[in-house]
Structure 1
Amino acid sequence: MSGTSHEKSTTDSPNTSDIDIPSSTHEWSPHLIDKLGIRIFKEDVLKIILKRWCLLRLSSKSLSKVDTLVSACDFKFDYDAIENIPERKGKFEKLRKKWSPDENQVLTLKLHKNESIVNMDWLIVKLHELSFCLHSIITEMPKRAVSEQKYCTLFEKFLQLFCFNTLSPPFITTEKTLILGRTISSQADIICSRLDTSSDRPIICVCETISEKEDVLSPPRKKMKSDIQDTSGTEEPSQQSNPSSRLNTEDPNLWTQHIANLLVHLDKSFRYDGILGITMDKSWVRFTYLEVSETTMKKIKETPANSLDSLNIEESERPLFCYSKPYNYLCRDDRKIIFNALMLIKKMQSDYEKVY
């Protein structure tokens, strides 16, 4: 795998065998990620979905149809932050029109109504809900700040545009699994699930908020060789405003709790050896993927926490965590990429369930 490795000094890193294993993923430190030997890579979002997670290979015809539907959902709404949306007080209709398909887009959506990606009637209803939520938020500003929960609700509406079955609190239960001989618990902010939530592996994607209020003053984590690589190619950054300083950093400390959450949910993942994730910071999102082989996961569960520094596994067996650059779903250009990714996930899910 190509990419540039970024290594930092490990002089001040404590011995991970002396670190306790918290029962909640919210309390995990970066050193626990070292102990598990997890490799961290930045990668292009489409590579994450089409090559890493990849439930099945999509034909060129299917990929072309997804591209057509992405164009049909290229709505005019285009801002870099909720605070910069000018429509306020009684201008809901103007806002709603910016989220509505034009005549040609409607025709395209109707022609592809059997693709199991976009349902025209459902899409219009969900776009109305999305516009209503946004209008409610901006009419309350600046008197009332936009809460983390409101951003979660907005993104859940985005997921529902493409018929994802979503769960959010209080409908999400706390998941538990064995890690390093200890029972670890975690709760996601949003779960994309198969319709049968009682199945052994119902989870399509785990979404959670990574916000500025989380502790970013963790001690520097010990880097293993080739731990952090950038395989995302030469993709140009968004021309819109940057996300928060924390989401815009490549600091591996950022990913500690998210990786831990994905580990806890892995046993319920639609794909046996990997789990898809999305992180949220206001209107910015990243796509992530954690891949752990069955034999490695067995060692992760059963190896005692007080064992040697890291798991006794070969380099090729080490877990792999990938993350994309951040995208802003309020920005038109970024939203095309997000919609493309979501439609590809939905298309794979639908086709996979038809075969299996």
Structure 2
Amino acid sequence: MAESSIGFQSSVHCDAQTTNNSVRQSSQSSRKITVSPSYSSPSSTGNGVPARTCDWTRSLVDELGLRCVCKHPSDIVTEHMSAALAYLLPHEINDLDKLTDILGNLNNLDDESLCEVDFKSLKYFPPHEAELRKEVTFKEIDISTYSIFLKRFGLGLWYALKENQPVISEVKYQYLYEQFLQMFGVLVLAQPVVNTESTKIFRKEVSLRADIVCVSQKDDVRCSVAVCEVQKECCSADIDVGPTAPKLRRTDNTSEDLPVAKENTSLPDGLPAQHVGQLLTYLPKSICKEALLGMTVDKTSVTFTRLFMKADTMTRIRTSSRDSVRLKEEERPIIYYSKPYNYLLKKDRKEIVKALLTLTILEHRRVKKT
């Protein structure tokens, strides 16, 4: 199938200034978690927990004793959905790679940022659905849905660039990612229709509304597949004074993220403390009993996450005070996270699309646990 039959076309300004694709660097707390033989939360400067997660600090999140593990987006999604009794067969993995190349092509859209896309040369036209259907071997992927939201994504991109404003608002970035998610079959709810959720953290009531909630079509109660935060300007409360924690470095000869230290015991750079609060608050609504997927969006860069926390651990975090939590190594919650991927870049987009297609396919196959 010809590449020109899918999506929309764009040309890049030859003189466009390349903008930084990396997520914002936030300072890490100076606390160091020691877990031998058990984890004890460090003394806090106060017993209060901010009721708004946008006021959470990285040091507060450190007190949860998170273990942080870096993985690829598709691995995070596959492992999460496998816990819900949904699997891909060996031969389907190759088919999924082929489908990812086709549906994620978007006519070779390949730019660092929206600032580099020349909207005057952005020509949108609908895909040839009949040709696409010949390439799709998964009954869970609806080409009509893909076509509808591809149109919306293309038009949204055109209008966002047409205004020629110096700053593109977070609202427009959120709209674009909503259409991008739905293009690949993910069912979403977004503000203002998203309900406020609440839970207790260290005996304090915390309430919030995620920017985007990916929902299941099968369940009414445990209906959250993933929660997504579109990053705003960093709250001042999220900045702690102290040296940064070990970072991840990316080498030229590998796509893997190599940790400088064997284990990150503090929230990785670019992953806001607020997002951990979102995962904790929406966890009771997750389709998986003790885990929840997440995503953070910084302009057009997407980071995948997954929080895993045993039910007993969650109960203790809810009912204990900040300075009295005692967790053994095996009780500590784990947050899996990917490096950020830019959905405007062709190479990065493939990783995102593969993860979203995997999520859609396995969500349809998921067997509801009794």
Regarding TM over 0.5, the answer is yes
Gaps of 5+ in 1: 1-6, 239-249
Partner of 1:304: 321
What is the match of residue 149 of structure 2?
126
Quickly say closer, same or farther: Cα 1:42–1:220, change in 2 above 3 A.
farther
Q: Residues 187-336 of structure 1: matches in 2 within 5 Å?
A: 187-195=209-217, 199-215=220-236, 216-220=238-242, 235-236=254-255, 251-252=268-269, 254-305=271-322, 307-308=323-324, 311-336=325-350
Deviating above 4 A after TM superposition, structure 1's stretches of 4 or more consecutive aligned residues are: 228-235, 250-253, 353-356
Distance 1:260 1:289 in 2: 13
Q: Write the letter of the residue equivalent to 2:69.
A: F
Classify the secondary structure of the residue corresponding to 2:326.
coil
Cα deviation, residue 194, structure 1: 1.3
Q: Does 1:159 align with 2:216?
A: no
Are 1:16 and 2:16 matched, yes or no?
no
1:86-136 CA distances to partner (integer Å, 9 max, x unpaired)?
Answer: 132xx6xx5214xx55x6x9535345365212x122211211111111111
SS at match of 1:345: helix
Give the TM-score taking structure 1 as reference length: 0.80
Instruction: Quote how far apart the aligned CAs of 1:230 are.
Output: 6.2
**Residue type matched to 1:85 in 2?**
V
1:256 is displaced (CA, Å) by 1.5
Per-residue CA deviations over 1:121-158 (Å, capped at 9, x if unaligned) read 221121111111111111111x3631001000000001
**Paired residue secondary structure (1:16):** coil
1:63 and 2:125 equivalent?
Answer: no
Do the aligned partners of residues 341 and 235 (structure 1) sit closer, same or farther apart at CA in structure 2, a change above 3 Å counting? farther
Q: Is the 8 A contact 2:81 2:363 kept in 1?
A: no
The number of aligned residues is 320
1:191 is paired with a residue of what secondary structure?
A: strand
Deviations 1:194-244 (A, max 9, x none): 1367x2210011000224443353234998xxxx79699984289xxxxxx
Which residue of 1 is the match for residue 168 of structure 2?
Answer: 146
Q: 1:213 to 1:231 in 2, by over 3 A?
A: closer
- 1:75 aligned to 2:94? no
- The 8 Å contact of residues 72 and 109 in structure 1, kept in 2 or not, is answered as no
1:295-332 CA distance string (max 9 Å, x none):
11111111133x43xx2121011000111011111111
CA contact (8 A) 1:69 1:109 kept: no
Question: Contact 2:74 / 2:355 at 8 angstroms: preserved in 1?
Answer: yes
| Structure-2 change in CA distance of 1:217 and 1:279 (3 Å) | same
8 Å Cα contact 2:29/2:240 also seen in 1: no
Counterpart of 1:124, as a letter, is S
Shift of 1:251: 4.5
Partners of 1:33 and 1:217 in 2: how far apart? 12
TM-score by length of 2: 0.77
Q: Which runs of 5+ in 2 are unaligned?
A: 1-27, 33-40, 258-266
Per the alignment, residue 366 of structure 2 pairs with 352
**Which residue does the alignment assign to 2:136?**
112
Determine which of 75, 78, 82 is the counterpart of 1:50: 78
Q: Percent identity?
A: 27
